[in-house]
Structure 1
Amino acid sequence: MAGTDFGVSTAPVDVVRRQYLASAAGDLEALRATLAPDVEWTEMAGFPLAGTYRTPDGVTANVMEKLGQDWDDWIAHDDNYVVDGENVVVLARYTAVNKATGKPIDVRVAHHFVVRGGLIVRFEQYVDTALVREAMPD
Protein backbone atom coordinates (compact mmCIF):
# COMPACT_ATOMS: atom_id res chain seq x y z
CA MET A 1 0.00 0.00 0.00
CA ALA A 2 1.18 3.49 -0.76
CA GLY A 3 1.68 5.83 2.18
CA THR A 4 1.75 5.07 5.84
CA ASP A 5 -1.09 7.21 7.20
CA PHE A 6 -3.79 4.55 7.19
CA GLY A 7 -6.02 6.45 9.64
CA VAL A 8 -6.94 9.44 7.47
CA SER A 9 -9.46 8.80 4.72
CA THR A 10 -9.87 11.30 1.91
CA ALA A 11 -13.36 10.03 1.05
CA PRO A 12 -15.70 13.04 0.92
CA VAL A 13 -17.99 11.75 3.69
CA ASP A 14 -15.00 11.16 6.01
CA VAL A 15 -13.54 14.62 5.35
CA VAL A 16 -16.89 16.25 6.16
CA ARG A 17 -17.29 14.12 9.30
CA ARG A 18 -13.81 15.22 10.49
CA GLN A 19 -14.88 18.84 9.99
CA TYR A 20 -17.92 18.34 12.27
CA LEU A 21 -15.88 16.51 14.91
CA ALA A 22 -13.23 19.26 14.92
CA SER A 23 -15.91 21.94 15.16
CA ALA A 24 -17.68 20.19 18.06
CA ALA A 25 -14.33 19.83 19.87
CA GLY A 26 -13.44 23.48 19.27
CA ASP A 27 -10.29 22.32 17.45
CA LEU A 28 -9.94 25.06 14.84
CA GLU A 29 -6.55 23.77 13.65
CA ALA A 30 -8.06 20.36 12.83
CA LEU A 31 -11.04 22.08 11.22
CA ARG A 32 -8.76 24.22 9.01
CA ALA A 33 -6.95 21.02 7.97
CA THR A 34 -10.18 19.83 6.28
CA LEU A 35 -10.48 23.00 4.16
CA ALA A 36 -8.84 23.69 0.80
CA PRO A 37 -6.62 26.79 0.62
CA ASP A 38 -9.14 28.37 -1.79
CA VAL A 39 -12.28 27.18 0.04
CA GLU A 40 -15.51 29.13 -0.51
CA TRP A 41 -17.66 28.95 2.65
CA THR A 42 -21.11 30.57 2.36
CA GLU A 43 -23.31 31.35 5.33
CA MET A 44 -26.90 31.95 4.21
CA ALA A 45 -28.33 35.42 3.62
CA GLY A 46 -30.21 36.46 6.74
CA PHE A 47 -27.95 34.41 9.02
CA PRO A 48 -26.03 36.58 11.55
CA LEU A 49 -22.71 35.78 9.81
CA ALA A 50 -24.07 35.89 6.24
CA GLY A 51 -21.47 36.05 3.51
CA THR A 52 -18.85 34.02 1.67
CA TYR A 53 -15.50 33.49 3.35
CA ARG A 54 -12.32 32.26 1.73
CA THR A 55 -9.22 30.55 3.08
CA PRO A 56 -9.23 28.24 6.10
CA ASP A 57 -8.18 31.11 8.39
CA GLY A 58 -10.92 33.34 6.96
CA VAL A 59 -13.55 30.68 7.64
CA THR A 60 -12.55 30.00 11.23
CA ALA A 61 -12.00 33.70 12.10
CA ASN A 62 -15.27 34.91 10.55
CA VAL A 63 -17.54 31.99 11.39
CA MET A 64 -16.44 29.63 14.17
CA GLU A 65 -14.66 32.21 16.34
CA LYS A 66 -17.55 34.69 16.02
CA LEU A 67 -20.12 32.02 16.85
CA GLY A 68 -18.07 31.28 19.97
CA GLN A 69 -18.13 34.95 20.96
CA ASP A 70 -21.93 35.25 20.75
CA TRP A 71 -23.17 31.76 21.67
CA ASP A 72 -22.50 29.17 24.35
CA ASP A 73 -22.17 25.53 23.31
CA TRP A 74 -22.76 26.11 19.58
CA ILE A 75 -22.90 22.64 18.06
CA ALA A 76 -23.82 21.46 14.58
CA HIS A 77 -25.25 17.96 15.08
CA ASP A 78 -24.62 16.07 11.83
CA ASP A 79 -27.61 13.73 11.81
CA ASN A 80 -27.86 12.36 8.25
CA TYR A 81 -25.51 12.27 5.27
CA VAL A 82 -26.46 12.09 1.59
CA VAL A 83 -23.43 11.47 -0.62
CA ASP A 84 -23.18 11.73 -4.40
CA GLY A 85 -19.57 11.66 -5.57
CA GLU A 86 -17.85 14.84 -4.39
CA ASN A 87 -21.14 16.26 -3.07
CA VAL A 88 -22.04 15.67 0.56
CA VAL A 89 -25.32 17.02 1.94
CA VAL A 90 -25.74 16.86 5.70
CA LEU A 91 -29.11 17.23 7.40
CA ALA A 92 -28.26 18.60 10.79
CA ARG A 93 -29.35 20.71 13.77
CA TYR A 94 -27.77 23.71 15.46
CA THR A 95 -28.06 23.89 19.22
CA ALA A 96 -26.69 26.76 21.29
CA VAL A 97 -27.59 29.41 23.85
CA ASN A 98 -27.22 33.07 22.99
CA LYS A 99 -24.86 34.70 25.51
CA ALA A 100 -26.65 38.07 25.51
CA THR A 101 -30.23 36.83 25.86
CA GLY A 102 -29.87 33.39 27.43
CA LYS A 103 -32.29 32.06 24.79
CA PRO A 104 -31.60 28.59 23.37
CA ILE A 105 -31.94 27.45 19.77
CA ASP A 106 -32.57 24.01 18.29
CA VAL A 107 -32.81 24.65 14.55
CA ARG A 108 -32.82 22.28 11.58
CA VAL A 109 -30.21 23.00 8.93
CA ALA A 110 -28.85 21.53 5.70
CA HIS A 111 -25.23 21.86 4.66
CA HIS A 112 -23.91 21.21 1.16
CA PHE A 113 -20.21 20.41 0.91
CA VAL A 114 -18.09 19.81 -2.18
CA VAL A 115 -14.95 17.79 -1.45
CA ARG A 116 -12.07 17.41 -3.90
CA GLY A 117 -8.66 15.90 -3.29
CA GLY A 118 -9.52 15.17 0.33
CA LEU A 119 -10.38 18.81 1.15
CA ILE A 120 -13.59 20.83 1.38
CA VAL A 121 -13.59 23.28 -1.53
CA ARG A 122 -17.11 24.64 -1.12
CA PHE A 123 -19.73 24.88 1.62
CA GLU A 124 -23.22 26.33 1.55
CA GLN A 125 -25.59 26.62 4.50
CA TYR A 126 -29.41 26.41 4.40
CA VAL A 127 -31.14 27.33 7.67
CA ASP A 128 -34.27 29.01 9.03
CA THR A 129 -32.50 32.25 9.88
CA ALA A 130 -35.57 33.71 11.63
CA LEU A 131 -35.36 31.06 14.35
CA VAL A 132 -31.70 31.92 14.98
CA ARG A 133 -32.40 35.65 15.06
CA GLU A 134 -35.30 35.20 17.53
CA ALA A 135 -32.76 34.08 20.16
CA MET A 136 -30.54 37.11 19.57
CA PRO A 137 -30.78 40.61 21.06
CA ASP A 138 -32.84 43.14 19.09
Structure 2
Amino acid sequence: MGKNYETIKAHYAGSDAHDMAAMMAPITPATAWTEMAGFPCAGTYVGGPAIIEGVFKRLGEDWDGYTFKLERLVDGGDTVVGIGTYSGTYRKTGKAMSARVVHVWDLKDGKVLRFEQFTDTKLVAEAMR
Protein backbone atom coordinates (compact mmCIF):
# COMPACT_ATOMS: atom_id res chain seq x y z
CA MET A 1 0.00 0.00 0.00
CA GLY A 2 1.06 3.56 -0.67
CA LYS A 3 2.19 6.33 1.66
CA ASN A 4 -1.17 8.11 1.55
CA TYR A 5 -3.01 4.89 2.44
CA GLU A 6 -0.66 4.27 5.36
CA THR A 7 -1.17 7.87 6.52
CA ILE A 8 -4.94 7.49 6.71
CA LYS A 9 -4.65 4.04 8.26
CA ALA A 10 -2.55 5.67 11.01
CA HIS A 11 -5.16 8.44 11.41
CA TYR A 12 -7.87 5.85 12.05
CA ALA A 13 -5.61 3.92 14.44
CA GLY A 14 -5.15 7.19 16.34
CA SER A 15 -8.91 7.66 16.42
CA ASP A 16 -9.39 4.17 17.84
CA ALA A 17 -6.78 4.95 20.52
CA HIS A 18 -8.31 8.40 21.30
CA ASP A 19 -4.94 9.93 20.33
CA MET A 20 -5.68 13.38 18.91
CA ALA A 21 -2.02 14.03 18.04
CA ALA A 22 -1.90 10.89 15.87
CA MET A 23 -5.22 11.80 14.26
CA MET A 24 -4.06 15.29 13.41
CA ALA A 25 -0.53 14.35 12.26
CA PRO A 26 -1.36 14.52 8.52
CA ILE A 27 -3.40 17.72 8.84
CA THR A 28 -1.82 20.97 7.63
CA PRO A 29 -2.82 24.61 8.17
CA ALA A 30 -4.40 24.48 4.68
CA THR A 31 -6.33 21.20 5.09
CA ALA A 32 -10.02 21.71 4.22
CA TRP A 33 -12.28 19.38 6.24
CA THR A 34 -15.94 19.21 5.16
CA GLU A 35 -18.71 17.73 7.27
CA MET A 36 -21.87 17.05 5.27
CA ALA A 37 -24.83 19.45 5.24
CA GLY A 38 -27.39 18.21 7.76
CA PHE A 39 -24.71 16.75 10.06
CA PRO A 40 -24.48 18.33 13.56
CA CYS A 41 -21.18 20.07 12.79
CA ALA A 42 -21.82 20.70 9.09
CA GLY A 43 -19.45 23.01 7.28
CA THR A 44 -15.89 23.30 6.09
CA TYR A 45 -13.10 23.84 8.59
CA VAL A 46 -9.57 24.78 7.57
CA GLY A 47 -6.51 23.78 9.58
CA GLY A 48 -6.03 21.68 12.69
CA PRO A 49 -7.35 24.06 15.37
CA ALA A 50 -10.57 24.76 13.42
CA ILE A 51 -11.10 21.05 12.76
CA ILE A 52 -10.58 20.11 16.41
CA GLU A 53 -12.84 22.90 17.68
CA GLY A 54 -15.55 22.59 15.03
CA VAL A 55 -15.73 18.82 14.75
CA PHE A 56 -13.98 16.66 17.35
CA LYS A 57 -14.61 18.85 20.40
CA ARG A 58 -18.29 19.29 19.53
CA LEU A 59 -18.84 15.59 18.92
CA GLY A 60 -17.12 14.77 22.21
CA GLU A 61 -19.25 17.28 24.12
CA ASP A 62 -22.59 16.31 22.58
CA TRP A 63 -22.33 12.52 22.24
CA ASP A 64 -21.55 9.63 24.58
CA GLY A 65 -19.46 6.89 23.04
CA TYR A 66 -19.28 8.57 19.63
CA THR A 67 -17.20 6.31 17.41
CA PHE A 68 -16.33 5.58 13.82
CA LYS A 69 -15.77 1.91 13.06
CA LEU A 70 -13.67 1.51 9.92
CA GLU A 71 -14.71 -1.48 7.85
CA ARG A 72 -12.83 -0.89 4.63
CA LEU A 73 -10.01 1.36 3.46
CA VAL A 74 -9.55 1.83 -0.28
CA ASP A 75 -6.19 2.91 -1.70
CA GLY A 76 -6.70 5.16 -4.70
CA GLY A 77 -3.23 6.72 -4.66
CA ASP A 78 -3.81 10.41 -3.96
CA THR A 79 -7.40 9.64 -2.90
CA VAL A 80 -8.10 7.26 -0.03
CA VAL A 81 -11.63 6.21 0.94
CA GLY A 82 -12.68 5.01 4.38
CA ILE A 83 -16.00 3.16 4.70
CA GLY A 84 -17.61 2.40 8.02
CA THR A 85 -20.24 3.20 10.62
CA TYR A 86 -20.76 6.02 13.09
CA SER A 87 -22.41 5.24 16.41
CA GLY A 88 -23.08 7.01 19.65
CA THR A 89 -25.74 8.30 22.02
CA TYR A 90 -26.83 11.92 21.93
CA ARG A 91 -26.52 13.28 25.47
CA LYS A 92 -29.53 15.64 25.40
CA THR A 93 -32.02 12.98 24.26
CA GLY A 94 -30.41 9.73 25.39
CA LYS A 95 -31.11 8.31 21.92
CA ALA A 96 -28.56 6.11 20.17
CA MET A 97 -27.74 6.19 16.48
CA SER A 98 -25.88 4.09 13.96
CA ALA A 99 -25.23 5.48 10.49
CA ARG A 100 -23.17 4.30 7.53
CA VAL A 101 -20.48 6.74 6.41
CA VAL A 102 -17.89 7.27 3.70
CA HIS A 103 -14.83 9.49 4.17
CA VAL A 104 -13.00 10.73 1.08
CA TRP A 105 -9.43 11.89 1.67
CA ASP A 106 -7.32 13.76 -0.92
CA LEU A 107 -3.63 13.74 -0.05
CA LYS A 108 -0.25 14.73 -1.39
CA ASP A 109 2.93 13.20 0.00
CA GLY A 110 1.18 11.93 3.13
CA LYS A 111 -0.48 15.24 3.99
CA VAL A 112 -4.24 15.82 3.80
CA LEU A 113 -5.34 18.42 1.28
CA ARG A 114 -9.08 17.77 1.64
CA PHE A 115 -11.44 15.56 3.61
CA GLU A 116 -15.13 15.12 2.84
CA GLN A 117 -17.72 13.13 4.79
CA PHE A 118 -20.83 11.48 3.35
CA THR A 119 -23.35 9.98 5.80
CA ASP A 120 -27.04 9.41 6.45
CA THR A 121 -27.71 12.64 8.30
CA LYS A 122 -31.37 11.70 8.86
CA LEU A 123 -30.35 8.87 11.18
CA VAL A 124 -28.12 11.22 13.15
CA ALA A 125 -30.81 13.93 13.32
CA GLU A 126 -33.39 11.41 14.60
CA ALA A 127 -31.18 10.69 17.61
CA MET A 128 -30.99 14.40 18.30
CA ARG A 129 -34.79 14.90 18.43
TM-score range, shorter chain: over 0.9
Partner of 1:44: 36
Partner of 1:73: 65
Residues 131, 111 of structure 1: CA spacing in aligned structure 2 closer, same or farther, 3 A cutoff? same
TM-score by length of 1: 0.87
Partner of 1:3: none
In the TM superposition, what is the alpha-carbon distance from 1:105 to its structure 2 partner? 1.1
In the TM superposition, what is the alpha-carbon distance from 1:25 to its structure 2 partner? 2.5
Q: Distance in 1 between matches of 2:50 and 2:20?
A: 11
Contact 1:40 1:54 in 2 (8 A): yes
Partner of 1:35: 27
Contact 1:42 1:124 in 2 (8 A): yes
Partner of 1:18: 10
What is the RMSD of the two structures over their aligned residues, measured on CA atoms? 1.5
**Cα deviation per residue 1:111-133 (whole Å; 9 max; x = unaligned)?**
10012121111100000101000
The alignment status of 1:106 with 2:86, answered yes or no, reads no
| Farther off after superposition, 120-129 or 19-28 | 19-28
In the TM superposition, what is the alpha-carbon distance from 1:31 to its structure 2 partner? 1.6
Give the partner amino acid of 1:29.
A
Percent of matched pairs sharing the same residue = 37
| Farther off after superposition, 22-31 or 33-42 | 22-31
Q: Distance in 2 between matches of 1:29 and 1:12?
A: 18
Where do 4+ consecutive residues of structure 1 move more than 3 Å? none
Partner of 2:123: 131
Partner of 1:4: none
Q: Distance in 2 between matches of 1:84 and 1:124?
A: 15
Stretches of structure 2 that go unaligned for 5 or more consecutive residues are: none
In the TM superposition, what is the alpha-carbon distance from 1:65 to its structure 2 partner? 0.7
Q: Distance in 2 between matches of 1:32 and 1:106?
A: 25
In the TM superposition, what is the alpha-carbon distance from 1:50 to its structure 2 partner? 0.6
Q: Find the residue that maps to 1:101 and give its secondary structure.
A: coil
Q: Distance in 2 between matches of 1:108 and 1:22?
A: 20
Give the partner amino acid of 1:85.
G
Stretches of structure 1 that go unaligned for 5 or more consecutive residues are: 1-8
TM-score by length of 2: 0.93
